[in-house]
Chains A and B, each alone.
Chain A
């Protein structure tokens, strides 16, 4: 999913040599306009009205048209005030930022949302795997899972019940790996993951939980 900055609209940003002062200013004031509504409508599973609502919220919070990681973290921190959501937000950011350019534009955002809210279970599981696979190499290792787990527990802060102990994330990871890692090779591949999740009723049910959002 390419973002054609110069194809459709006159975009005032230019990525020429970052040596001169003016270029620095332009870089810092990057503006991005999304593709037209019709394209987005075609590429995602949202209706026109829904896209409008999404974009208005997006643009209100990020007038420049792109979200950077700090804003992501801020937003997430406001939803989860009791703990520290920044690590998880970091992983989320990387999951949303599909072209890895350090910023999430509206297209990225809406594509991600489209999968998460309106996608098939397969797509959702795929997306979740992508989230867990931090280095995007196709395998989830125990360390990656531990990082994710710690991030999730961090979000809860001190309000976990029972009280969080140091080994709780590790134990949780062990449980997860026992469930998911069929061939016990220490990593979870995408197929193992999808298979296992499809056989787990709880997980399947929870995948449909947020479908009526928006």
Chain B
């Protein structure tokens, strides 16, 4: 039911009294109004801008967010208002929809942000009023085209394993993908040009012997031209067959315009080979040679402008059709008139109506060759009317075609420009992301220190705490730690060095850095274990209660060795040492195949021993998590933090 009509329900119900006296059966009981809620104002706070409306207004559309109970999720008890953290400008349109029943699309608004807001508030865009619907649809189509363009560029990315056939097809379609493709592209272009020039030069009269008439070059140097032609046709045939082989869908390829042009370009040659030098068919044979000129259309693979032109003509087919039709009508009319007007004059060139067609066409297109001119006065009058109307009829559809061409051309220009800018844009985005991921890791490290220091309770180090870690960040860090704890194999010991590196690639690839963190062990048993454990694992022992954030590097930079289980089932990790220049990486979260070298430049962090009571069962799993490390086995590769 429409918006305001709900307000008329009382009227409709009241008017039902008209039926009562004539009713056959008794009426059903009316529904009781449980709580007669007076209409109240509700406040919608959208990013600080307060909108107020009656509750009834919103209830008009119960299948949207604001009209249903879904808005209760956004109710703020303290301020007694509904708070939405959305764009207040777009919300204006949304609220007006409730008020007036019509949804309008503001022209200055970005189409995707508008769509998002509509989706959030549960409003279907199809109900946009007629006044704004066209604009909305146009903008949406433009946006979709743009996105499709971008997506097509992504498709060019080389898939890891493409068959030979697919590679070939990609090379054909986009010559910039490989050098071979480029070479092929230029070679074919060259041969197309050669072929076309040959065809042209063939007909030029060359010098002749004095006693003979001038012959065209084609007949003088028959063999040379024949060889040239053969070579070109062979190249084209090979190219066509290769394309046919590489095409993903051969049937579709054979139906496409370009392949038809290819076939038409080479067919005359083969037909000429097959046909004998028969007098009867030589006329037809000559006609066939005309089709060789179609080779010039093969250039459209090489030229984008040609393609755009072709596409424009295709998209303006209706306008062109109209032009043709109206011209035909006008030609017939004027030819008839001219014929009858000139019938009287002697030696008139207007011998029949079809003969007058030529005059009409030449006049309407303002060519005016002058081979046929009217002589009678009536003829001249009608001739002038003919030429005037010709200008008008031709001028009408032309702007439509031109504007279509302009639109398509600019679209293509934009697409090219976007593609060119894309690289620079991506690079800039990458840099800014690096900055943010660096910041993240930095805060994470601070978060670690915070936790560590909290655990130790050491006060003087608390001063070094950066208080900037928000609750969200610390929870995020905790989450990452949980992940690490789950997956990292609690292995042997190594030493973490304190790091402050910036490795752009590294950060990009493994955003979630693992790291074995340092929690000083609270287990009292650790100290007692010092003697128990053997010397199979190196460990630093002085680390229990002080995380030693800036402890100097341990002297021995030995790699971690193997898993080590204590009799009590405890495993410990001591300070973990990241070896500089080694491909130390966290075993988690990282693709094994792409280790990146670290640029360790400076100091090192040491960690305390972490005593983790884990069952030995985890060990085999832990092994599995180890990267098939290039340089170290059994080294827990940790990320630098």
Contacts and interface: CB of A to CB of B under 8 A. Distances in A.
Given A116-B17, A124-B17, A206 B9 contact: no
B22 A152 contact: yes
A139 interface: no
Given A49-B38, A212-B30, A75 B8 contact: yes
Contacts of B22: 145, 148-149, 152, 172, 176
Contacts of B39: 53
B32 to A, nearest CB: 8
A190 B125 CA distance: 54
Given A49-B38, A53-B39, A57-B7, A205 B17 contact: no
A143 interface: no
Interface in B1-17: 1-17
A55 to B, nearest CB: 10
Contacts of B16: 209-210
Interface in A195-214: 197, 202-203, 205-207, 209-210, 212-214
Given A57-B4, A61-B4, A206 B11 contact: no
A22 B10 CA distance: 38
- Kindly name the residue among A58, A79, A128, A176 whose own CB sees the greatest number of chain B CB atoms within 10 A: A79
A8 to B, nearest CB: 25
Interface string B76-117: 000000000000000000000001000000000000000000
A148 B9 CA distance: 22
Nearest to B31: A212
Contacts of B27: 202, 205-206, 209
Given A53-B39, A109-B11, A75 B5 contact: yes
Given A206-B26, A210-B30, A57 B8 contact: yes
A46 to B, nearest CB: 11
Contacts of A205: 26-27
Interface residues of A, number: 46
Nearest to B32: A212
B92 to A, nearest CB: 18
Contacts of B14: 112-113, 116-117, 210, 213
Nearest to A212: B33
Given A213-B13, A213-B14, A125 B21 contact: yes
Interface string A55-91: 0111011000000000000011011000000001001
A145 B21 CA distance: 12
- Kindly name the residue among B19, B22, B24, B30 whose own CB sees the greatest number of chain A CB atoms within 10 A: B22
B21 A78 contact: no
A113 B11 contact: yes
Interface in A158-183: 172, 175-176
Contacts of A79: 1, 5, 8-9, 12
B482 interface: no
Contacts of A134: none
A54 interface: yes
Contact of A60 (B4, B9, B23): B4
Contacts of A76: 12, 15
A109 B8 CA distance: 11
A205 B23 CA distance: 12
Contact of A197 (B2, B6, B8, B21): B21
A127 B8 contact: no
Contacts of B20: 128, 203, 206-207, 209
Contact of B17 (A88, A210, A214): A210
A183 to B, nearest CB: 18
Contacts of A131: 18
Contacts of A187: none
B402 to A, nearest CB: 42
Contact of A56 (B7, B11, B21): B7
Interface in B482-530: none
A92 B26 contact: no
B8 A210 contact: no
Nearest to A211: B30
A113 B5 contact: no
A60 B10 contact: no
B4 A214 contact: no
A127 B17 contact: yes
Contacts of B6: 57
A117 B23 CA distance: 19
A203 B18 CA distance: 11
A213 B16 CA distance: 12
Contacts of B13: 210, 213
Contacts of A49: 38
Nearest to A149: B22
A103 to B, nearest CB: 16
Contacts of A91: 18
B12 A203 contact: no
A18 to B, nearest CB: 31
Given A128-B18, A176-B22, A206-B27, A78 B1 contact: yes
Contacts of A75: 5, 8, 11-12
A50 to B, nearest CB: 9
Given A49-B38, A128-B17, A206-B20, A78 B10 contact: no
A22 B54 CA distance: 38
Interface string A99-125: 000000000010011001100000011
B60 to A, nearest CB: 10
Nearest to B1: A78
Given A60-B4, A172-B22, A54 B10 contact: yes
Contact of B21 (A109, A113, A203): A203
Interface string A18-61: 00000000000000000000000000000001000110111011
A213 B32 CA distance: 10
Interface string B18-52: 11111111110010110000110000000000000
Nearest to B2: A78
A61 B17 contact: no
A202 to B, nearest CB: 4
A151 B315 CA distance: 54
9 contacts: A60-B99, A61-B5, A79-B1, A95-B18, A113-B10, A148-B22, A172-B22, A212-B33, A213-B10
Interface of B: 1-27, 30, 32-33, 38-39, 54, 99
Given A79-B12, A117-B14, A124-B17, 16 more contacts: A53-B39, A57-B4, A58-B7, A61-B5, A61-B8, A76-B12, A78-B5, A79-B9, A88-B18, A116-B15, A116-B17, A202-B26, A203-B23, A206-B20, A210-B17, A213-B14
